[in-house]
Amino acid sequence: MLYPEHAYLPLLWMLREFMLQNNALLQKLKQNLRDTTPSVEGLVKGTDKSFGFLEVDASTSYFIPPPQMRRVMHGDKVRAYVRTENGRDSVEPFELVAPALERFIARVQKREGKLAVVPDHHAIRTQVSCRIAAEAKCQQADLQEGDWVVARLLSHPLPEKKNFFFGEVVQKIASAEDPFAPWSVILARHQLPHQAPDLQDLPLPSLEELAVGRTDLIHLPFVTIDSASTLDMDDALYIEAKADGGWKLQVAIADPTAYIPYGTPLDQEAQQRCFSLYLPAREIPMLPEALSHDLCSLRAQQVRPALVCQLELNTQGAIEQHTFQLALVQSQAKLAYDQVSDWLENTGSWQPETPELAALLHTLNDFAQARLQWRTHNALVYPDRPDYRFVLDPQGQVTEIKAEYRRQANRLVEEAMIAANQCAASTLAAAQSTGVFNTHTGFAEEQLQQAKTLLVAHGLYDAQMPAETLNTLEGFLQVRRALAQHPQGVWLEQRLRKLQNYAEIRAQADTHLSMGLPAYATWTSPIRKYGDMLNHRLLKQSLGLAESDLVIDEALLAQLNERRRLNAMAERDVRDWLYARYLSQPEQLACKRPAEILDISRGGLRVRLQDIGATAFMPASLIHPNRDEIVANLEEGTLLVQGQVQYRLGDTLEVQLQEVREETRSIIARPFA
C-alpha cells in the first residue's frame, strides 16, 4: 500500500537525525582513537623501492609502507601515527609540517597527452601532474619528453586528502638534448643571473674628470699577472728593492667605484649579485662587461684610475708601514702565470721583453719568498691543492680535465694580495671601526670541548689549558703547527674541520684563524666582489675623499654570506654534472685512480679522485661482502672490517669506478682489485 509522500517526512527526518548523531559519534570515536594513537614527527626518506622511512632522529626511524609512501615525498617533514602489526612498527603520515618542494627543477613526462614532471633529485621519483602557469612563456605543445623546467607545487596529497601531487610549470629552461643544460639548469635552480648586467645608460666620467685628486703614477712600470684568458684584471704590481734591505711594494687595484656612485641602480644591481660567478668554462660578471672587461680592467698600455696601497717591508717580509692613495696608473705589460712561472723556474721558452721587466720579476719573486717565510712563521700556510680545469669542445662536451697546480707566479701575486688585504684590515679597523671583514673564529662553541678532548688524546694540547684558548690566535696557531708535525695529522685535521665554524663576512674586525691573522679585509677584487667595492669606499672615506653615508647593516652582510654560499653551490653542482658526463664514458670507467678519503659514514666512504678532483661514493656493500662485519667509528674517523681498522679519514687508496649516472650526477666507486 502506498502512502502520500508527505506521510514519509517524519520518518525521513528521524533517519536524518539518527545519521547525523551517529556521524558525530563516529567522528568523536575517530578523534578519540587518534588522540590515543602515538604519533611522531620526522623527515621522509625515500628509497629505490616503493617503501620509505620516517627519520625521527639520528637513531630512530620508522617504516613507511608503499600505500602511505605514495602520499608523501622524500624530504617532506610530516607527523605520523605509529602502528604496530605483527611486532613491527610502521607509520601512517597524517599531517604535512613542511613540504620538501615548493619551487623546484624538474623534467617533463608526458603520458597519453597529459603533462607531468618528475623533480630533479636523486632520491625523488614522484610524478607531479601539472598545468602551465599563467606567467609561463611556453605552451604545453612546446614541452617535449625530458625537457628541463621550473615548476611549482600547488597541492600535496597529505593536507588535501588526495592521492596525487599537483603543480604548474613556470618556465622552460632547456630542451632535453641541449648540451649546455648543466649551466642553464643549475643557474635556474639557485635563481642566479645568466648574464652580465646592462650598463643602464650610466653617465661615465672622462679620464680628465677622474684625474682630479689623484696622484699620477703613470710613469711607474706596473704589470699585471693573470691567466692568459683573463679580461677582468683587478690588480697590477710594481716593486723596488730598498737600499737598506727590504722592499717598497705598490699594489694598484682597479677602481670601479670611480664610475659607479653608491646607491645608484647599477650599484644596487652589484649589491644584489655580490660576486662575479665563475663556473666551468663560463663567467657571469658582477658588473657590466663594458666596465669589468674594459674601462675598469687594468689593461696594458691603458691609463686607468686605481686605489693604490704602498707597503714597506723589511728583509724578513714583515710589513713595517703602509699608505693608501688614489692614483692614475698604466700597466706596461699583461703577463701570464704560466709564462712567468716557466721563466722563474728556468723552464719553457718565454723571456721578459726588457731587462727592466726581468729585474722587476726577480724582485717580486724575492719579496714573495720572504713574505711566504714570514707567514709560515707568523701566520698559517697550507699545502697547495690543485685546481681542476674543464676543457670543453664547441658542443659543450668535456674532452679533458686538467689539474693545475699553483706555481711561482701564482704565489707571487697571492703574497702581494694577502699583504695588501692585511693593510686594508688594519686601516679600516683603526679609521672606520667598520668594514667588510673576512673572519674565521675557529671551533664552534658547542664543539670546543670535543675538540680539546681529541687534541689531548693525541698529545696535541695541554689538558690543563681551558678549551676556550683553542679559539685564540695563539692557541689556534699552536694547534695547527703541531698538527703539521703529527704522524696522524691529516686525518686529525679532517676530523677537526668538522668541529669548526664556517668562515663568515662581518662588519667588525675579528680574527681569521684559518689564515692565522688578527684581521683580514679584501679590497683587491672590486670588479668581482661587491664587498671589495664597499671597502674601497670606506678606504676613500679614511682618506677624506668620499661621503660617509655608507651603511653596512645585517641585511647586507646576510646577502653577502648567502650569495657566496649560492655561488659556491652553483659551481659545485655544474662541476658534479660535468664530472658525471665525463666519467660515464666507457674508457673512464676502466681506469685505476688514486683517491683520498674525505668522509666516513655508516653507509660507506666519500672519496676525492685525486687526478681530476671529482667526488665519488664507495658504498659499504662494495667494500666488504658482509655488511654486518663493517663498523664505522664516527668518533675516531675510521672504518673497521672484521674488527680491524681498514680505512681512516685522510687515507689514500686506489679505486675504480663502478657506476656513473649523469641523470643523478652520482659517481659510485669500489676498491681497485
Looking at the DSSP assignment, which residues form a beta bridge with residue 78? 42, 96
Which residues touch 492 (CB under 8 Å, ≥6 apart)?
454, 458, 460, 483, 486
Place of cell 674543464: 390
**411 contacts 365 by C-beta, under 8 angstroms:** no
CA distance 498 to 444: 9
3-state secondary structure of 592: strand
CA distance 222 to 202: 29
Is 232 a residue of the active site? yes
Catalytic residue among 76, 120, 226, 573: 226
CA distance 202 to 236: 26
Is 234 a residue of the active site? yes
Please report how many Cα atoms fall inside a 13 Å half-sphere around the Cα of residue 450, on the Cβ side: 15
Catalytic residue among 76, 120, 147, 234: 234
Is 235 a residue of the active site? yes
CA distance 95 to 80: 7
Is 528 a residue of the active site? yes
- Work out the burial of residue 613: count CB atoms within 10 Å of its CB; fewer than 13 is exposed, 13-18 middle, 19 or more buried: middle
Sign of CA dihedral 83, 86, 89, 93: negative
Is 338 a residue of the active site? no
Query: Which letter, b or e, does each residue of 15-26 get, where b requires 16 or more Cβ atoms within 10 Å of its Cβ?
Result: eeeeeeeeeeee
Alpha helices (H) in 458-553, listed in sequence order: 473-485, 489-497, 530-542
Alpha helices (H) in 259-354, listed in sequence order: 265-273, 289-290, 337-344
Catalytic residue among 76, 120, 147, 232: 232
Label residue 469 left, alpha or beta by phi (over 0 means left) and psi (-120 to 50 means alpha).
alpha
CA distance 291 to 232: 9
Which residues touch 582 (CB under 8 Å, ≥6 apart)?
390, 398, 401, 588, 612
Catalytic residue among 337, 520, 530, 647: 337
Where in the sequence numbering do the catalytic residues fall?
226, 232, 234-235, 337, 528
